[in-house]
Amino acid sequence: MRKHERFSAILERISHDGSIDVEQLVADFGVSPATARRDLDELAAQQLVSRTRGGAVGGSVSYGLPVRYRTARQSDQKRRIADRAAQMIEAGTVVGFNGGTTTTEVARSLASRADIAEGEAGALTSLTVVTNALNIASDLAVRPQLRVVVIGGVIRPQSFELVGHFARPVIDSMTIDLLFLGVDAVSAEYGAATRHDDEGEINQAMASRARRVVVVADGSKLGKRAFCTIAPPSGIDALLTDKGADTGAVRDFERAGVEVIQA
């Protein structure tokens, strides 16, 4: 198990049980006591946990599992979705990303496209990326062929997204050609949704400025509901999901007039 996968599992365990000890880490993950202690020390240095004698407890900060440690979930499906999504992006367009693990994978796939990586003549030099996710902006900022526009706001540590009223003037002044929307849940009845109202408000605004909205979500999120609606079914142009998604849920989206693409 790679380090980031262990970190994800450790944080999941602490979030559920409230604490974890070195002996548990050794038994569950097959690492040495020294490695277990180093893992906990590193998480404590990032203020994600508080170290105790022989283990760790939940940190004093309030956190959902940070996005960089959630990338292991449904990782194969997300990568296939991301690779397909990246191929939908054409030169000369304005592409939007909200925060989340799947949109982060899409951005990484975009950055790895040969025509961008090699700087070929006619590459996507006119491509503009708009995002409220700091981690996505950071990943793409090193690509000189891309112009990256970051929406202002207040950082939400759990997802690295910028939220709040400072973001609205920037969003309201732009038009997005293609928005890739990461969600906590999406259904043919209720549409795309997130658990957090501050993220939902900004995501709603981004969707309202997009000519085409593509929800990127692995099959585990289909047919689910979440607290804050981002876009109703009529506001979703396409759903990009994995081939293992429930066939009944897929048919529901198609009946609702949403194009379904499975990768």
* 164-200 tens-digit pLDDT: 999 999 999 999 999 999 999 999 999 999 999 999 9
Specify the pLDDT at position 153. Answer: 94
Ranking 64-78, 100-114, 218-232 by mean pLDDT, the lowest is 64-78
Q: What's the token pair of residue 215?
A: 């929800």
Beta carbons of 256 and 233 less than 8 angstroms apart: yes
Specify the pLDDT at position 65. Answer: 58
Specify the pLDDT at position 69. Answer: 57
Specify the pLDDT at position 235. Answer: 98
In angstroms, the Cα distances linking 251 to 157, 213, 234 are: 36, 19, 15
For the CA atoms of 251, 256, 257, 260, the dihedral, rounded to the nearest 10 degrees, stands at: -40
Specify the pLDDT at position 124. Answer: 54
Strands 127-131 and 94-97: parallel
pLDDT tens sequence across 1-40 = 778 778 878 887 887 788 999 999 999 999 999 999 999 9
Amino acid at 80: R
Range with the largest mean pLDDT of 17-31, 35-49, 119-133, 196-210: 196-210
- Integer distance in angstroms from the first to the last C-alpha of the chain? 26
What secondary structure letter does DSSP report for 113? Answer: -
Beta carbons of 261 and 239 less than 8 angstroms apart: yes
Beta carbons of 34 and 59 less than 8 angstroms apart: no
Amino acid at 156: R
pLDDT tens sequence across 216-255 = 999 999 999 999 999 999 999 999 999 999 999 999 999 9
Specify the pLDDT at position 39. Answer: 94
The residue among 263 and 18 whose pLDDT is bigger is 263
Kindly state the average pLDDT of the residues 81-99: 95
Place of tokens 């191929």: 87
Specify the pLDDT at position 48. Answer: 79
Strands 127-131 and 146-150: parallel
Query: CA-to-CA distance for 92 and 124, rounded, in angstroms?
Result: 7
Query: CA-to-CA distance for 9 and 15, rounded, in angstroms?
Result: 10
Specify the pLDDT at position 248. Answer: 97
Cβ atoms within 10 Å of 84's Cβ, excluding its own: 18
Query: CA-to-CA distance for 33 and 40, rounded, in angstroms?
Result: 11
Ranking 70-84, 85-99, 174-188, 193-207 by mean pLDDT, the lowest is 70-84
Beta carbons of 194 and 228 less than 8 angstroms apart: yes
Q: What are phi and psi of 165, to 5 degrees?
A: -70, -20
Kindly state the average pLDDT of the residues 75-104: 93
Q: What is the mean pLDDT of the chain?
A: 89
Place of tokens 């709040």: 164
Kind plus residue range of the DSSP H or E element containing 171? helix 168-172
What secondary structure letter does DSSP report for 219? Answer: G
Sorted by sequence, the CB contacts under 8 Å of residue 12 that are 6+ apart come out as 65
Q: Is the pLDDT of residue 47 over 90?
A: no
Q: What's the token pair of residue 5?
A: 């996968």
Q: Is the pLDDT of residue 83 over 80?
A: yes
The residue among 244 and 113 whose pLDDT is bigger is 244
